[in-house]
Each structure stands twice: as structure tokens, then as C-alpha cells.
Amino acid sequence: MLGSVLAGAAAVSAQSIGGTITDSTGAVLPGVTIEVRSPALIEQVRTAVSDGAGEYLIIALEPGVYTTTFTLPGFNTLVRDDFELVGEVTANVDAVLQVGSVDETITVSGTAPVVDIQNVTQQAVMTREVIDAIPTGKAFNNFGVLVPGMTTGTTYGVGQDVGGQSGQSHQDMAIHGGVANDQRIQVDGLDITAFTVNSASAVWVSDGNFEEVQVDHSVISAEHELGGVRFNMIPRSGGNNFSSRTFTNFGLQSLQSNNITPELTAAGLPEPNRLKELWSINPSIGGPIVRDKLWFFGGYTRQIADSYVAFYEDVDPNAAVYAASADQAFDDQSVHDAALRLTWQASARDKLQLFVNDNSNIHGHLLIGTALSINVMPSAAVRQHVDSRTIQGTWTSAINNRLLLEVGVGTIPNDQQYLPQHNVDETLPGVVEIFGDLTASRGMSSWYLGRKDWLKHEENVNARAALSYVTGTHSAKFGFTTQIGSDLARQGGHQFQGRNVNFMGAPIQAQFSTYPVEAGLTQTVWDRNYMRSYGLYAQDQWSLDRLSINAGLRFDYFRGGYPAHSMPETRWGAASSFPGADVATWKDLSPRLGVVYDLTGDGKTALKVTANRYVDGVGTNFARGINPALQNTTVSRTWFDGLGSAAFGIPARYCFSP
């Protein structure tokens, strides 16, 4: 199915169109008027004039189907139509004009080139048609694994999603020896990354809101500081005609197989991970509020992804020792997502766009199963609830036929809650059994140690601005980017120990936390962290006959740290305070260089050579690792009474009461 979709479309990976115009003798033609038209353009048409070398370039186009018209007095009008632009590279569309009347038109259909002979960035583009057709999940990571050579990390036990069953996996990806932590997730070129997990996003991204997903995986330009995989999702915009669609998919247990054998069952694996409930529905509508002036697009997504795991529910979720019931345990995830996109052609040269997304996702049994290096029983799984609001605005101004100004600002505040299960007494300590396989039960006893609850608020404000100067042979761009991130956390402790460590059912260690003990959800702010990142860049694409040079230089400044803290006295911790500090201040200069050579001169074969420098991806997590508020927050007391010290070979001096 995927092969037929890709082969059936005369598509090129581009949001720019450029080329050389000549007459039938091969002489270049300056002064030719070029018009590109598409229903995807709210202004309907963009124009340019070929320069003294007969070359032209039109940039910042929207994904869609285009018609290009070439006119010059004394020559026939040439029309190139029905070719599709996707992605962010340049389509080379040359034209040969025949002597004749402008009233005489020659039309050539669907002949756009498929090789980018100007850009060095390696990009895969998942168009709306491909996204709808492929029989797989619809999250960004499902699209990323379709790129040859892409590798996936294991996040919370998920190595690779199958059919959307894993829900939101926060999966890191890398390619060609890259670093997974340098992955970035963006909407319309603006980050929606969670800076506490700087390569993932707290948003469960709904694919129905987007026209295409661009996967930049190699040779990233100077517009971006990192060299890792970049997922950029382009929102849908509506159009001059009203249209609506409803997309739904589902999975059934009867469509799923397993490889459980009697040998595996005898070895202690009684049940496989299997599908419980999987479906999504996405109605959407778009159209004109004012034709050629104001468009809208709106969509809503509801999705469920529940799976049984290879463990059983607790007989008593508050018991000090885990005992399995006859009911198979499950992991449950759901999302509500609503999005709105407005596009306003404010003047002949100015376009403004607004994107608003409200996203609420719930992971009812986060970490259940073997997501960590410990077996997490249902009573020790975590209830995760994340509410995110993405607000973005962009302004594009075609100052003249050579200058283009682009500005974008976005913010994505989100609130996260990590809580014990409803049927667990939150005042009881969690339990970890170390005899045999490590097993966690009761409370948040796995990843979150002695916490009663963990409540986080994150802010991510980012902006970009660029001025492009375009001629037929040059496309120069100068711009800046900025990212401002912050997080604060409220972490609750227990009146007594937060976690017991058991050996054969008998406690041998109690772990206490210094977090405040409060009834209900914790209100005391425990730690704060921040980051600031600023970048300036200049880049140029210079075409010399069959040779294109892509050169850029980027300066990055990063500052991360924490503000002054005043820690209250708690049940198990003394009051303390400390001043704020910057834990990292870095300045980096990163050159980027790439060369493209059209080997055969027909735009079908290109040789590309690149050499680039990038910086590491860092968020507020760097400061969190150093913040004193998060150091020495637990204390343990260990004993071996009643275990029979001689039988276990434990020296008598270690046998004491807590």
C-alpha cells in the first residue's frame, strides 16, 4: 500500500521552486515573469522575475499542488502544472521558451524533478496521503521508523511501537551514529519539546491536525543548533472551499497473534502482552471565513490505547507482600485533543497564522510491567495526567520580490501529575522485593522512590525570525532563534518511610524522604530550574551552473541553572536555603558547509559532500542534575533481624534493629 502511494504521486520534496530559463538555442532569458499558483496559497499566486543569468527562486511556499507559468514578450507562454510540493527543499523546475506569441500556451504536466540538486539536508516527508494510507500507528515515532537506517531507543520498555498499541511512547530516535538526545519535535518550526526530557514532548501529538510530517535526519542547516533527528509537523490550514473528513481506525484481539510456547509458560510467562482496546477517531473541518482572506481549520481527536501486560492484578493492593489474583493486569492510555488553525492574508504581502492546540492525555498505569529494570506490579504503577496548551503565531511578509521576512513565536505550558493508584492507601510505604526478580508493589515504589505524589509545571517559550534575500543564483538567510524553558515541581513525602525493601517478604530496609508531608495534593514548591538558549545564524545557497554551495555559520549561547531556594523544615529534613546559580554557560560557533554537484546535468543524479559542527541538546534537565534541592533527599536504614544471619552468611555486627 505504501509503495503504491509513493509511486502514484508526481511529488517532489520542496517548499521552494527555482530553476533556469532558456530559449530553444540554450541562451539564458532574463526578465521572464514566473507565477506559481496553488489552492494551498491563501494569496493564490506568488511571482518572481528571472535575473541576468536566467535564474529564479521562489521560497516559503506551502505544501500542495502547484502550477507554474513562464511568460516573456515574443515567446510562447509555458505552463508547468500538476506537480506537488512537500517538505523543505528546493524543486528544480527549468523552462525552455519557444519563440512565438504570448497568447500561445504550451502546457507540460507532472514533470517535476525528484532529486534536489541544490540542498544538502536529508529529509523524508510523510504527506497527508501517506499518513492516511500506511497501516501503522500515527504518532511521530511511527513515521520516523519508516526512514531507512533510523534506530530507536527503548523508552519506558517500548522498543518499537506496533500499530499504535504503545500509545504515547516518548521514543528517542537517531540515525547514522547520531545521538538520540539531540532529537527535537516541532510544529511549524517551533519546539514543543519538554525540557525536563529534552528529546521528547509531553504532548500526545495527534496526526489529524497536520498536512505533513517532515523528518530531517541528516545534515541539518544552520537554522538549527542540533544535528539530531528533527520532526517538524506542518498544520493543516483550510482553503477557499469547505471540506470535512472523519478518520478512524481500530484494532482487535482477533487480529493479533502471539509467540507464547509451553516452554515459555513453564519458565514463568503465563500470559503475553496483548491488545485490550485500541481505537481513534478524528473529525475535522476547514474552509473560508472570508474567501482569499481568512481561512480556518479545526479538528478533534479521541484515542484509546489499552494493552494487557504479562502480570496479574494484586489480590490486595495494600498488602505488604504482592500476591497475584486471577485477573490479568493492563496498561491504559487515552487522549483528548482539540486544534484550531487560522490563516489571515492581511495584505498582498503579509500573512499571519495562529495555531492553538489543547491536549489532555492520561496514562493510567505508567511503568507497569517491565518498563524499568524492575517488575512493576499494578499497585506500584503510576497514574500520569498531562495537560498541555500549545499556542503559536507566525508572520510572513514578502517585502519585495527579493526580500522575505519570517517571524514565529510559540509557547507550550503544561501541567503533569504523577500519583499512586486510586485503590492504594497513599499513606502506606511502597514495597520492593529483592529476592528473585526485583518486584515493586504498593504505592509509587518503583521509579519515584519515597514520593507520595509528584506535580510538575513546565514552560517552553521559543521564537524564530529570519530575513531571506533571494536572487536566481543566491538564497541568503539571516536569523535568530531563542528558547526559554523553566520547570517547577511539588514533591510530597510520607509521615513515616516512603518505601520498604523486602527480602523473602521480610523488610530489611526502610527509605525515608525529606519531602514535605501534606494532606491531599502537595502544595509546597520543592525545586525550580531554568534554561536560556539563543542562536544567531547566517547561511547562503549559491548556484554556479551544475554546482551548488550551501554554507552557514551559527553562534549559540546557552545558560542553565536554578534560582534561590528556601526549603522548609519537613518530617525527615531540616530547613535549608541556598542561593541561585548558573550551572552551565556555554558559547559555541558552528560552521556548516555542503556542496552539491549535478553529475549528469539533467537533475537526476547529484553528488553531495558535507562537513558540519553541532552542539549538544540540553534542557532544564541539566540543571536538575545539579540543583541542591534534589540532592540527598532520601535516607535509608537497614537491618537483618529475623533472617537467620548465620544461614545467610551475614556478619552479626549487621544484625540490628532500626
pLDDT at 260 (0 to 100): 79
| Contact (Cβ atoms closer than 8 angstroms) between residue 357 and residue 301 | no
Task: Note whether 252 and 329 are same-domain residues.
Answer: yes
Number of domains observed in the structure of the chain: 2
Grid coordinates of 450? 519515597
State which of 90, 114, 138 marks the end of a domain: 114
Would you say residue 647 lies in a domain?
Answer: no
454 and 381 in a common domain: yes
CA dist 614 → 129, 289, 533 (Å): 34, 44, 14
Indicate whether 132 and 60 sit together in one domain: no
The pLDDT value recorded for residue 105 is 64
Residue pair 439/433 in contact (Cβ under 8 Å)? The answer is yes
pLDDT recorded at residue 338: 96
The whole-angstrom distance between residue 491's C-alpha and the CA centroid of its chain comes to: 27
Question: 83 pairs with which residues across the strands?
Answer: 66
416 and 448, same domain (yes or no): yes
3-state secondary structure 517-583: CCCCCCCCCCEEEEEEEEEEEEEEEEEECCEEEEEEEEEEEEEEEECCEEECCECCECCEEECCEEE
* Alpha-carbon span 486 to 277, nearest angstrom: 36
The model scores a pTM over 0.75:
yes
Q: Domain check: are 100 and 130 in the same one?
A: no
Domain containing residue 550: CATH number = 2.40.170
Does the residue 646 lie in any domain?
Answer: no
Which residue numbers in the chain have pLDDT < 70?
1-14, 89, 101-114, 154-159, 168-170, 195-200, 371-372, 446-450, 640-658
Handedness of CA 446, 450, 455, 460 (dihedral sign): negative
| φ, ψ (nearest 5 deg) of residue 266 | -65, -30
Domain of residue 103, residue span: 2-114
Residues 176 and 270 in one domain: yes
Reported residue count of the chain is 658
| Same-domain status, 267 and 386 | yes
Q: Beta-carbon neighbour count of residue 519 at 10 Å?
A: 8
Clarify whether residues 71 and 208 are in a common domain. no
Listed as own residue / partner, the contacts of 570-573 with beta carbons closer than 8 Å and 24 or more positions apart are 570/493, 570/514, 570/515, 570/516, 570/517, 571/493, 571/494, 571/495, 571/516, 571/517, 572/493, 572/512, 572/513, 572/514, 572/635, 573/514, 573/515, 573/633
Residues 98 and 222 in one domain: no
Contacts of 653 (CB under 8 A, 6+ apart): none
**Under the phi-then-psi rule, with left for phi > 0, alpha for psi from -120 to 50, and beta for the rest, what region is 8?**
alpha
